Structure 1
Amino acid sequence: MNSAFDAAAIRARAEAAITVALEVGRETARSRRVSNPGMLAVENKGLQDFVTVADRKAEQAIRDGLISRFPGDSFMGEESGGLSGGTGTWVVDPIDGTTNYIRGFRHWGISIAFVADDRVEVGVVYDAAEDKVFHAVRGGGAFKDRLAIHAAATTDPANALVILGHSRKTSFDDYLALSRRLHERGMDYRRMGAAAIDLVRVAEGAADLYYERQLNAWDMLAGALIAAEAGATVVMPPVERLLAQGGPVIAHSPGLADEFAFILDIEGLAPVTR
């Protein structure tokens, strides 16, 4: 571990992130409940990339809550930007699944990761659908509202449930080809639109695979750590590359490794052991 952060310092950041995620998550959910969807102020930033007043308000609240406690840390947010620092950096998506949030589809959440020395040390995800917080500290297991969670023990592909992500920045033909291959193997699949929540579904054993070809770091880092600490196989590029340009992520039940090896071939990645 980076010498600047001992176990107590990392734990303190995890506890702060849990508190902030729950507070901001509940306030963001309350704001959505009392808002007329037609009255939400929305700016179109591009394909599948919406900003609402709620996004900016949530990110500012998360920043204030974390940096007030740890003023020496850096902050990288989806809305406000920022760069990873030389010590530790918070990497935050204030509303992962913004389109879902806008439309009132409750599959959205808040993603908070803490990165030090090019490793994800803390991952915290607020799940709006259940009003619960998932969290993990590297090497310490994964939890949902403080109760330990584990990836599914599925070994038969006919029993597998898969969640796929897709961005218009990547090939739809490739997405269709992957869907067809999973279908031919007897697997059921979904597309839900919130990577952090999809990853914690793998962590808690509700799904057996999450894969998306191009994500930003703030979408995936927290959920990827939680899934890995829950015993899922998680494969992604190095953290420094993800912080700079994003990339793919694969998280799956360990008993289905052979079924999903072809995705690693597509991405040219190799499994990374914890």
Structure 2
Amino acid sequence: MNSAFDTSALTARAEVAIDVARKVGREAARFRREGNSGALHVENKGLQDFVTVADRQAEQAIREGLLARFPDDTFMGEETGGKSGSAGTWVVDPIDGTTNYIRGFRHWGVSIAFVVGGKVEIGVVYDAANDQVFSAIRGRGALKEGQPIHAAPTTDPANAIVVLGHSRKTSFDDYAALSKRLYERGMDYRRMGAAAVDLVRVAEGVSDLFYERHLNAWDMLAGALIAAEAGAKVAIPPVAMLLEDGGPVIAHSPGLAEEFAFLVEFEGLAG
């Protein structure tokens, strides 16, 4: 760990990030409830990539909330961009699951990660559906509303619930083939559309796998740390690579490691 970020420095940042994620998430939810069609005007930026007024407002509020307390940190957001710095960098998705948010499907969240020296040191995810905050500091376990959480003890694939993500940047045929394979193994699967929240579902033991072939760093880093700190097995590319190009993420219950080893091998990742 960078010597500038000792235990107290990380704890202070985590506390602020939790507070900011909760406030911004609740404000975005209120904006959605009270907004009209004009306020929720959508601009199409590309495949599966929408921007709303709420996205911009949320990211600005997160940036201000974090950098007001920690002005020397750098900031990388989905909406406004930015580069990681040699010191600590906040990597933020202000509304993960924007399409769900726009349509009123409550599976969306706020994702805030803090990266130092190529490692995710803090992960915070606000879960809009339950108005709860998940958090983790590397090496200190995972929490939901301040209480420890753990990945599920599932060992039988027939009892597993899995969540898959799919980007239009990747092959639908591969996605369909994977869905078929999981179905044939007796697993119940879903596609929910908000990776940060999908990852914390693995962390709290609600589901047994989250896998998506391509995500941006801001979609996955916070949730991946929380899942790992909850005891899930998590495989992602090096953080520096994710910050540049994005990539795959695999997070699953530890008792199903053998079952999902083929995914780790397929993606060429270290489990």
Q: Same fold (TM over 0.5)?
A: yes
Say whether 1:68 aligns with 2:102: no
CA contact under 8 A between 2:106 and 2:128: conserved in structure 1? yes
Tell me the TM-score normalized by structure 2: 0.99
Pairing of 1:1-274 with structure 2 (within 5 A) = 1-37=1-37, 39-271=39-271
CA RMSD of aligned residues (A): 0.7
CA contact under 8 A between 2:132 and 2:145: conserved in structure 1? yes
Runs of 4+ in 1 over 6 A off after TM superposition: none
Residue 47 of structure 1 and its aligned partner are, at CA, apart by: 1.3
Q: Specify the SS of the correspondent of 2:257.
A: helix
Alpha-carbon separation, structure 1, partners of 2:236 and 2:223: 12
Alpha-carbon separation, structure 2, partners of 1:13 and 1:41: 33
Residue deviations 1:228-264 (CA, integer Å, cap 9, x gap): 0000000000101000110000000000001101101
CA contact under 8 A between 1:125 and 1:222: conserved in structure 2? yes
Alpha-carbon separation, structure 2, partners of 1:185 and 1:207: 16
In structure 1, the gaps of 5 or more residues are none
Residue deviations 1:97-122 (CA, integer Å, cap 9, x gap): 00000000000000000000110000
Residue 153 of structure 1 and its aligned partner are, at CA, apart by: 0.1
Tell me the TM-score normalized by structure 1: 0.98
CA contact under 8 A between 1:161 and 1:208: conserved in structure 2? yes
Residue 38 of structure 1 and its aligned partner are, at CA, apart by: 6.0
Identity of aligned residues (%): 76
Alpha-carbon separation, structure 2, partners of 1:88 and 1:121: 9
Residue deviations 1:17-52 (CA, integer Å, cap 9, x gap): 000001111000000001134651110001110000
In structure 2, the gaps of 5 or more residues are none
CA contact under 8 A between 1:37 and 1:103: conserved in structure 2? no
